[in-house]
Structure 1
């Protein structure tokens, strides 16, 4: 069972559609009752008779709601041959991403941005449309392992490990239960098992919690004696009745454990008759409850993450929306709060791989949510992340294998690399310096600007060495390394030399410009060094430079002269490409005619390297 059908789709009950016309009346009725499989069959019959953008869109939405990404993308494509609302283009993009078609998804996102430029998701995309390569290469936070207590056929999700090592989860595995008309799977029940060093006992149903409707998922208090769980609003007499069918909402309930059994079940007072409330997480001190809801005040009318203060026995404060740092006009759901105030949640509104991704935000710092990255997140739905600090293990759910399964999230060792950029002469920190981190193959991972205290921090893997390149206006670019570490915080001191220090008499003293063997194109490393010359020339607009490229004595005189001349010209062309007027720089190759070390055929490798150099002569200051 796709959990959106209960845990998320019920949140749309207040937005029930009405029949477009007599032809679509039956299909629309099925859709309004969330019976998407049957609704799709009826819409498909209509689509085969004539072109109808409404039918195409409803077909796409039907498949979207049962997470049939391929069919959803197919019918969104047909629907968008006609003008559509902004959200349709957004959902189409999500389905394309889930199918791995990221360039096509970006095309649809551009249409979404045009129609809804003020939408938080549109603003984020416009700022960083090509974020996926960086997301794929970010430091891995967890390894994953599928749990062996998943049912072979039916859905399992929402796993949470209590402090007493009882593992609670939600499943549709009970084949004796009535089938759910929306997807022909049994209704959801709550189950528990015992966790022991990575293994689980045989799960058993929690009969005192389970009803004839959907039940779960749940969260458990630190002492294991209080449970908040989701169930259907029929228990509270809240539902929408239309066309002879009743549609319920999600409501949140509290239960207490006594003598090993759950009882004293009460509905929380902030449930509503026209909105859903569910998927809760309780703070370690038991004073704050986080939950998902589409109650009034939610952004875009979709599900948001909320919190409420717990003041006593069934006494609560006023629910508070967590705001636009966490919530978007998309769907945010499945919150989980840790003891150190880190909030894990699922979202399809923040930048991800497609569909629902899992994010974490440090609520003490009010930082932007971080995508957990691969392998936890995928192009499919990834959600319901929980963490047990005692066992240092997390759990999450995903339909990446074709149905909702539960996975273990195994934390990886991490290092906080704290880079501090300072002036070599004065020792003062340099704010707004650009710091780029590279992997062991010199591939750029990401770049940050230093804060006012001259620092920026990168979260990287343990047991790996990293390189940092630091740049700042008026300073010499420099490269720094950080050795492999077993974890914790590592300080990297990036000391930059003022560019003025590179001007020595009539020369610009750069590090050697290296080219690949037998090649003359400018490499990334060479460009990094030449940018120092560009900065100096921009700071000194009357300066004129002559580039002299030299080779060592290996190879023929003719070959060395030709190659060094090509490299000199490539160097000049690069500097010109960076905005320096062509009349201010010229270059020439000298081959082996002006050796720095006259050693002939007896040169050592070190002496060859000294002769294989590039000089930057100041012709005019």
Structure 2
């Protein structure tokens, strides 16, 4: 914590000491996950003018972890006002807060900062798909959504279909004499409730699901086997009247199992892969009841929480949990899995590219247990707020999801939906295109074209036909691939692409550069090496570092060809007077020559000349309205061969 140095009066000393004591108290509350209490103390201190980056982080985090992103964003903004020296994660969190305000332009600026400051996969996903909002738009407007009918002012979310009912989680008061309050959110601890499904798909008549499954701590997110006789559910670390804590004396979440005996739930037991030291929560079952999926932060987790799977053996024992891998899991939160009867896998994530907060994503599990590409289910199910706990009836395509979006009744609310247009999971793409010589644009036959996946594993090879065409079939949509083109007379060319969405083809024209460039007196080496501009700062003639990279190429050509001589020709655009531009171009051509001499080229092999605005390559002369791009075409340098 940043100390306050005061030497003015005893009053100020006492003020600083008082504020630091309050911050220390807030830190204690914060570290105990009592975020609501921490917020109150931190904000009172901040309102009195106490400013500290660590405090602003913690206020922001306190709201962020409670999904109050607009408030979190205000404090992250204050953090960035006083320092930019922060962990990259804060760029990401602030971008999520900005998405909550639908300020996607600024959110993407902070995603840019995040991707440059970190090797995190979330940043890589963004740099590979900066047009992600357009992709989400394509999967949007497929649903009709409505309030489910049983929401309260408290948190209501989940849940699972069970017989002709729906079992969900709620923090509504159960009517006890002393309402137990959870320190994290200052809401009542959650219980499992059940509601009846009407023919219109609404929920009615909510009531406590089972007294036997109700403890004095949290119960949530239940899932049932197909025969209805086994339930898996989430509860705080509490069994048979005993509370369990981790090494920091914190009660975490565990998965439990119960079976139905004589119409009631009994034989409650915790699952064997639970631990006092990490969370396991939010179970989901495969259609055959042989695989249990869940969220956890156990060892081997990539992010804040990952989705795992574990085999349920015929004798009821369990295998070893397996992380679903980095195709699904990110450094953020992946949680609340659900698997439909047709093996459609839905989950909530704030690590994949979305509209803000937790978004709901989906993929399909293939027969060989591989996954299709992951799709954002789009709006109106997803929003700039937290959207999660998606469940769907495979036959009716109706279901429920939860959200803390504006316009609801409580902290979280349950919404019913009808999917009117299905997602296309097994979309296949072909990659096809043309290989051409970049200078002449002529097609190149018999060039080797090799295809790699995003991990640079070779997955296909072919050769261009007599017309320079190539193609690869049966590829995934919206997937990263690399193409490498090789031919004896040309430089190796490699580029990364992302296939288009849906079924179809992705067309890629590949320009090929000759290894050996044929030049003659009068040839411009700048064109041979695609040097468009040697950049100078405004009204300056010194060589900048970025320009030096291109000049080094020309120097190496001259060293390899000791009889070659060149003339450096510098040009300007038409802005400013002719006399000014002529002098400026002469200074820049001479500065370029001087740099090359300094780097080993004899001065008798180089001449320098400035042409000002006398040789414009387009019509952008005085009095003509041109774009910046058109003016830039005239601000060029040439390296013309005068002798070989």
State the TM-score bracket (shorter-chain normalisation): 0.5 to 0.7
* Cα deviation digits, residues 550-576 of structure 1 (max 9, x gap): xxxxxxxxxxxxxxxxxxxxxxx9xx9
Secondary structure (helix, strand or coil) at the match of 1:360 reads strand
Match of residue 186 from structure 1: 188
TM-score normalised to structure 1 length: 0.64
Judge conservation of contact 2:139–2:423 (CA < 8 Å) in 1. no
Match of residue 133 from structure 2: 132
Q: Would the alpha carbon gap of residues 184 and 334 (structure 1) be closer, same or farther in structure 2, given more than 3 Å must change?
A: same
The answer on 1:212 being equivalent to 2:216 is yes
Stretch deviating more after TM superposition (45-54 or 251-260): 45-54
Secondary structure (helix, strand or coil) at the match of 1:227 reads strand
* Cα deviation digits, residues 570-619 of structure 1 (max 9, x gap): xxx9xx99xxxxxxxxxxxxxxxxxxxxxxxxxxxxxxxxxxxxxxxxxx
Secondary structure (helix, strand or coil) at the match of 2:250 reads strand
Judge conservation of contact 2:22–2:41 (CA < 8 Å) in 1. no
Match of residue 414 from structure 2: 406
Q: Would the alpha carbon gap of residues 65 and 390 (structure 1) be closer, same or farther in structure 2, given more than 3 Å must change?
A: same
* Cα deviation digits, residues 310-340 of structure 1 (max 9, x gap): 1145511010000000000110000112233
Match of residue 279 from structure 1: 282
Judge conservation of contact 1:269–1:314 (CA < 8 Å) in 2. no
What root-mean-square deviation, in Å, do the aligned CA atoms of Structure 1 and Structure 2 show? 3.7
Stretch deviating more after TM superposition (262-271 or 411-420): 411-420
Secondary structure (helix, strand or coil) at the match of 2:71 reads helix
Match of residue 594 from structure 1: none
Match of residue 558 from structure 1: none
Secondary structure (helix, strand or coil) at the match of 2:471 reads coil
* Cα deviation digits, residues 20-52 of structure 1 (max 9, x gap): 975522001111222222211111122233221
Q: How does 1:14-93 map to 2 (within 5 A)?
A: 22-47=21-46, 48-80=48-80, 81-82=82-83, 83-93=85-95
Compute the displacement of 1:413 (Å).
3.3
Q: What stretches of structure 1 of length at least 5 have no aligned partner?
A: 1-19, 438-445, 461-467, 475-572, 578-621
Distance of 1:75 and 1:420 partners within structure 2: 47
* Cα deviation digits, residues 243-278 of structure 1 (max 9, x gap): xxx521000000112232111111001001110001
TM-score normalised to structure 2 length: 0.61
Q: Would the alpha carbon gap of residues 115 and 266 (structure 1) be closer, same or farther in structure 2, given more than 3 Å must change?
A: same
Distance of 1:166 and 1:88 partners within structure 2: 42
The answer on 1:431 being equivalent to 2:471 is yes
Secondary structure (helix, strand or coil) at the match of 1:306 reads strand
Q: Would the alpha carbon gap of residues 431 and 228 (structure 1) be closer, same or farther in structure 2, given more than 3 Å must change?
A: same
Secondary structure (helix, strand or coil) at the match of 1:182 reads coil
Match of residue 524 from structure 1: none
Q: Would the alpha carbon gap of residues 390 and 234 (structure 1) be closer, same or farther in structure 2, given more than 3 Å must change?
A: same
Q: How does 1:256-405 map to 2 (within 5 A)?
A: 256-300=259-303, 302-312=304-314, 314-364=316-366, 365-401=370-406, 402=408, 403-405=411-413
Q: Would the alpha carbon gap of residues 449 and 286 (structure 1) be closer, same or farther in structure 2, given more than 3 Å must change?
A: closer
Q: Would the alpha carbon gap of residues 313 and 89 (structure 1) be closer, same or farther in structure 2, given more than 3 Å must change?
A: same
Secondary structure (helix, strand or coil) at the match of 2:137 reads helix
Compute the displacement of 1:473 (Å).
4.9
Compute the displacement of 1:470 (Å).
8.2
Q: Would the alpha carbon gap of residues 139 and 378 (structure 1) be closer, same or farther in structure 2, given more than 3 Å must change?
A: closer
Q: 1:231 aligns with which of 227, 231, 235?
A: 235
Q: Would the alpha carbon gap of residues 447 and 90 (structure 1) be closer, same or farther in structure 2, given more than 3 Å must change?
A: closer
Distance of 2:480 and 2:257 partners within structure 1: 45
Q: What stretches of structure 2 of length at least 5 have no aligned partner?
A: 1-18, 434-464, 484-498, 511-625, 631-644
Judge conservation of contact 2:220–2:235 (CA < 8 Å) in 1. yes
Q: How does 1:535-546 map to 2 (within 5 A)?
A: none
Compute the displacement of 1:349 (Å).
0.3
Compute the displacement of 1:184 (Å).
2.6
Distance of 1:258 and 1:91 partners within structure 2: 47
Distance of 1:328 and 1:457 partners within structure 2: 23
Q: How many residues align?
A: 437
Judge conservation of contact 1:139–1:459 (CA < 8 Å) in 2. no
Distance of 2:113 and 2:423 partners within structure 1: 40
Q: How does 1:141-156 map to 2 (within 5 A)?
A: 141-151=142-152, 153-156=153-156
Distance of 2:160 and 2:329 partners within structure 1: 23
Distance of 1:76 and 1:294 partners within structure 2: 25
